[in-house]
Copies of this chain bind each other. A is one copy, B any other.
Amino acid sequence: MNDAPAPRRTRGGGGAARRAARSAVSFDTARFIERKIPNYEMLPEEALEIVEANAETVLEEIGVNFVNNPKALALWKEAGADVQGERVHIPRGLARQLCATAPARFTQLARNPERNVEIGGKSLVLAPVYGPPFVRDLDGGRRYATMEDFRTFVKLGYMSKWLHHSGGTVCEPTDVPVNKRHLDMIHAHMTLSDKPFMGSVTEPSRAQDSVDMCKILFGDEIATSQPVMTSLININSPLTFDDTMMGALEVYAANMQATIISPFIVGGAMAPVSVVGTLTQVLAEVLAGVAYSQLIRPGAPVIFGAFVTSIDMNSGAPTFGTPEASQILYGAGQLARRMNLPFRSGGALCGSKLPDAQAAYETSNTLNAALMGGVNFMLHACGWLEGGLVSSFEKFVMDADQLGVLHRIAQGVSWDEEGQAMDAIREVGPGGHYLGCAHTQRHFQTAFWRSEVLDNKPFETWMDEGARDTQALAAAKVRKMLETYQQPQMDPAVSEALAAFVARRKSEMPDAFS
C-alpha cells in the first residue's frame, strides 16, 4: 500500500559524475495518480446537452476573434469557417469534429523516465503554482520574486514526493530581463529537477527556444515528435485568441508538444455570472482553441483547460474556493470527458494574503473538487497565495503535503481478505482494542496516510516545542528540505550544451524589462 518509498541512494555515471553520485540522494516521487474511484458527475445529462448546443450556437452565431493572426484566419477559412475580418464564425459541429483527432491520453516524458507522467483518462498529474510576480515567506515577508527564488521553488518541487511535475513559471524572476528569463527558467527546471516541466508561452520565439533546449536534453527526434513539455495557452476570455498565445501554440503543436487550452475566467467579469452560462462560454472557447491546434497539426496533444473563479461583486476582487468555482469545475470536467479530452482545472487556489486558515479552507475546497471532478492535470497544486500574486514557500510545502491526501483517497479501498480484516475483529472481540492484534501489526506502517508537516502531538508536547502554527511548522520543513537538497545527475555534455545555448541566446538579444 505504500506508494511513497523512502529516499534511496542511486549510483551511476562515470568519472566526476560517479564521484558526485557517491553521496547523491534520489528523492522519490509518487507515481502520478491513477484514480480507482468514480468521478463525481454533478450536472445531469439534460444540462450538459443544453450547454453543448448553446456552445455551438455561440461559435456559429457570435464567433470568436483570432487577433492579428492571418495564418489562423486562413486555416479557419480553409476548414470551412465563415471568416469576417478577425471574427471566425464556426459552423455547428465543425469545431467538435476537428477536435476528434486530439488524443484522449498522452505521456509527457521526463528526463528521468521514472518521472514520466500520463495525462488523460483517470490520471491526475500535480504541478506547482504558476505565474506570481511576488514571493512570501515567514522571515522575509512579501517581496518581488527573483531567479534565486525561482530556483528554490524548483528544488522544493523536486523534493516534494506528491508532486509529479516541476511546472513552469513557479514565480516570475523579476530580476532577469523579461526577454531572457525564460532561458533561465527552462534551464533551472532541466538541471535542478528531473521531473517533467512546462515551456515558455510569452512569445512564439520563446516557445521555440523551449523546443530547442528540449532538443539538447531529449534529442531532436523526441523533442519534435513526443510530448516533453506541457505548456499553458490561456484564452483571452471572452472568445478572443491573441497572436502571442496562438503563436506559442503554433510552435508547440507543430512539434507535437502538449498544450493546455485554457479559458482564464473571473466569472461575472469575463463570463456570465451563472454557472451554466460560464460553462457554455468555456466550452465554446475550448472547442475553438483545440480545433485550431488540430488545424496546425492533427493529433497534437492538448488539454481541455478551465481556470474559472468567481468575483466578489461588491469589491470586484476575484475569489477562490467558492461554491460556484467548484460547480464550474465539476461541470467542465463532465464536458471534457464527453469530448474524450484530458482535463485541467483546480489547484491550491486561495485569495488569502497569508498561509492561514482562509488559504487552507479555499485550497482544500478546490483540491477536493479537483480530485472528485476528474481533473487530469492540476496546475497550481501547491504554493499559490493571494489570488495568484504570490508564491509562498511555506504554503508550497503545506499544500504539497495535502496532495498526499488526494493520492490515498484516489487509491480506493481494498476488500480482499486483508481489507476485510475479519480475523482482527474475531481476535479482538467486544471491548478489546486493536493496537496489538496481528492484523494491525501487519499493516500499521502503511495503513494510514501520514502528514509530514502538520502536528498531531499532544498539547503539552506541542507547547514544549514552541506552540507553532502551520506556517511555522512549514517554514521549518522548507529549511530542512533545502539543507538536504542534492541536484540530480546530468550527462556533463548535455549540461554544457544547455549552458552554452542559454549564453548564446542571451548574447543575441539586448535586455528588455517590459
Contacts and interface: CB of A to CB of B under 8 A. Distances in A.
B57 A422 contact: yes
Interface string A325-352: 0110001000000000000000000011
A356 interface: yes
A490 to B, nearest CB: 35
B272 A421 contact: yes
Nearest to A284: B425
Contacts of A268: 434-435, 440, 444, 447-448
B323 A409 contact: yes
Given A409-B323, A448-B324, A280 B456 contact: no
Contacts of A435: 268-269, 316
B326 A420 contact: no
A368 B358 CA distance: 15
A358 B275 contact: no
Residue among A323, A353, A368, A456 with the highest chain B CB neighbour number at 10 A = A456
B365 A398 contact: no
A272 B424 contact: yes
A458 B389 CA distance: 11
A299 interface: no
A15 interface: no
A236 B432 CA distance: 10
Nearest to A354: B469
Contacts of A369: 368
Interface string A196-219: 000000000000000000000000
A281 B470 CA distance: 34
Interface stretch (A42-50, A124-132, A187-195): A42-50
Interface in A296-336: 310-319, 321-324, 326-327, 331
Interface in A469-485: 469-471, 473
Interface stretch (A102-110, A244-252, A255-263, A411-419): A411-419
Given A65-B430, A364-B361, A424 B42 contact: no
Contact of A238 (B275, B404, B430): B430
Given A315-B456, A323-B409, A420-B276, A470 B238 contact: no
Interface of A: 37-38, 40-43, 46-47, 50-51, 54, 57-58, 61-65, 87, 142, 236, 238-240, 267-278, 280-281, 310-319, 321-324, 326-327, 331, 351-365, 368-369, 372, 386, 389, 395, 398, 402, 404-409, 412-415, 418-422, 424-426, 428-435, 437, 439-440, 443-445, 447-451, 454-459, 462, 467, 469-471, 473
